[in-house]
Amino acid sequence: MVRWTQKLEEDAGLDPYVARLGAVADRLIASPTRRELLHGTRIGHGIHPLMTDLPLGMWTSAIVLDLLGGRPARPAARRLIGLGILAAVPTATTGVAEWAVTGKREQRVGIVHAAANSASLTCFAGSFLARRRGHHTRGVLYALAGGLAAGVGGYLGGHLTEVRKVSTWHPAFGDEDPAQQ
């Protein structure tokens, strides 16, 4: 996976997609107040990593209920998937705002991170709709596919945070920004 991630960082073929999302991201953070809110400036910590726990936790819990909870757990699993879908929207918004102020390598990996997470969201939306229409098994399969896509997105998000130091620094803590070293 490391080599694949390094190839993504250098893949200029991703740049047209980076440019498209960049135009949206620039508008999103054009207002200083909105930028500070989406970056978590007032709490002294990047807000996107914190928010990812919401949809991922709900979706993972739903999959556990699907696999271990039996028929009585089906309504709870569906609710968790629905809540995860709702939580994914502001989570993605904070991710785009953070992505907007990163470098080229981070943006290339970030665009694939966003694509994987969008695929995950699409799968979980399909899961929710299938369950709502009474197709529980189909819903479980969509959820499992969504979990796999979320795993890829999570790996790339972890790379951005741990290796590239995106969202790991705040001026309130005084040290030099590790992403700029």
CB hemisphere CA count around 178 (13 angstroms): 12
Average pLDDT, the chain: 93
Please give the residue that has the higher pLDDT: either 150 or 174.
Answer: 150
Nearest to 17 by CA among 110, 98, 141, 146: 110
pLDDT for 13 beyond 70: yes
Model pLDDT, residue 42: 84
What value does the mean pLDDT take over residues 25-31?
A: 96
Supply the DSSP string of 131-152, one letter for each residue: HHTT-HHHHHHHHHHHHHHHHH
The pLDDT assigned to 168 comes to 66
In the predicted structure, residue 52 carries a pLDDT above the cut 70 = yes
Whether pLDDT at 47 is above 50: yes
Q: How many CB atoms lie within 10 A of CB 36?
A: 13
Return left, alpha or beta for 7; rule: phi > 0 is left, psi -120 to 50 is alpha, else beta. alpha
| 124-168 confidence digits (pLDDT tens) | 999 999 999 999 999 999 999 999 999 999 999 999 999 998 876
